[in-house]
Amino acid sequence: VYLRSKEAWRRLGDTVVKALRESKKNMKTVIGKLDDGALSNLLSYVYYGFDTDPANAVVYLAWQKSITAKVGVAGILRCMTRRKGI
């Protein structure tokens, strides 16, 4: 996705973070359907959630734990090395 403005990135990030909060009961199903690349991208949004919505850190920790269980530490490394926008 190519977005020109930081505001557009923020809106996209906020939307994904909201979806993460609301779908925590379906976490294992969602994670099971995604490949490693998509999970690394999702992990970027998890970290965005930590940054912008610390009140729900427990939810994001659960997502991080489940994603890392599937992709390993490599997912975290991929996420952190390409962190440009979200």
Contact call for residues 60 and 46 (beta carbons, < 8 A): yes
Distance between CA 41 and CA 33 in Å, rounded? Answer: 14
pLDDT confidence of 75, banded at 50, 70, 90? confident
- Fold exhibited by the domain 6-81: 1.25.40
Domain ranges of the chain: 6-81
pLDDT one-digit tens code per residue, 41-67: 999 999 999 999 999 999 999 999 999
The tokens describing 81, both together, are 């090395």
- Please state the rounded mean pLDDT for residues 31-45: 93
Write the burial class of residue 17 (CB in 10 Å: 0-12 exposed, 13-18 middle, 19+ buried): buried
Q: Which residue has the tokens 């557009």?
A: 8
Distance between CA 80 and CA 13 in Å, rounded? Answer: 16
Whole-prediction pTM:
0.84
